[in-house]
Amino acid sequence: EFDKCGISWHKPTVKRSFQNLESIAGVQTNNPSIIDLPLTQAFQAVVKSLGDNDVMVILDNHITQPGWCCSNSDGNGFFGDKFFNPDQWILGLTKMATLFNGVTNVVGMNLRNELRGPKQNVNDWYKYMVKGAEAIHAANPDVLVILSGLNYDKDLSFIQKRPVSLTFKGKLVYEAHWYAFTDGQAWVNGNPNQVCGQVAGNMMRTSGFLVNQGWPLFISEFGGDLRGTNVNHNRYLNCFLALAAELDLDWALWTLVGSYYFRQGVIGMEEFYGILSWDWIQVRNTTFLNRISALQLPFRGPGITRGNPYKLIFHPLTGLCVIRKSLLDRLTLGPAIYLMVGNTHPRKFYQ
Q: What domain range is 280 assigned to?
A: 4-299
Pairing of the two strands 320-323 and 56-60:
unpaired
**pLDDT score recorded for residue 347:** 47
Low-confidence ranges of the chain (pLDDT < 50): 341-351
**pLDDT score recorded for residue 344:** 46
- Evaluate whether residue 145 is within a structural domain: yes
Task: Compute CA 119 distance to the chain's CA centroid, rounded to the nearest angstrom.
Answer: 25
- Evaluate whether residue 314 is within a structural domain: no
- Nearest to 163, CA basis, from 174, 152, 154, 171: 174
**pLDDT score recorded for residue 2:** 63
Backbone angles phi, psi at 100, to 5 degrees: -110, 20
- Evaluate whether residue 173 is within a structural domain: yes
**pLDDT score recorded for residue 305:** 66
pTM assigned to the model: 0.91
**pLDDT score recorded for residue 15:** 86
- Evaluate whether residue 343 is within a structural domain: no
- Evaluate whether residue 285 is within a structural domain: yes
The SS3 call for residue 344 is strand
CATH of the domain at 15: 3.20.20.80
Cα separations (Å) of 255 from 48, 83, 218, 221, 284?
20, 25, 15, 8, 11
**For the segment 194-235, what is each residue's pLDDT rounded down to a tens digit?**
999 999 999 999 999 999 999 999 999 999 999 999 999 999
DSSP category for residue 248: T
- Evaluate whether residue 317 is within a structural domain: no
Beta-ladder partners of 304: none
**pLDDT score recorded for residue 265:** 92
Backbone angles phi, psi at 27, to 5 degrees: -65, -45
- Evaluate whether residue 351 is within a structural domain: no
Count up the domains in the chain and report the number.
1
CB 23 within 8 A of CB 261: yes
- Evaluate whether residue 238 is within a structural domain: yes
- Nearest to 103, CA basis, from 61, 57, 60: 57
CA angle 187, 190, 192 (to 5 degrees): 60
E strands within the chain? Answer: 4-8, 56-60, 106-110, 144-148, 172-177, 217-222, 250-253, 308-315, 320-323, 332-334, 344-350
CB 131 within 8 A of CB 94: no
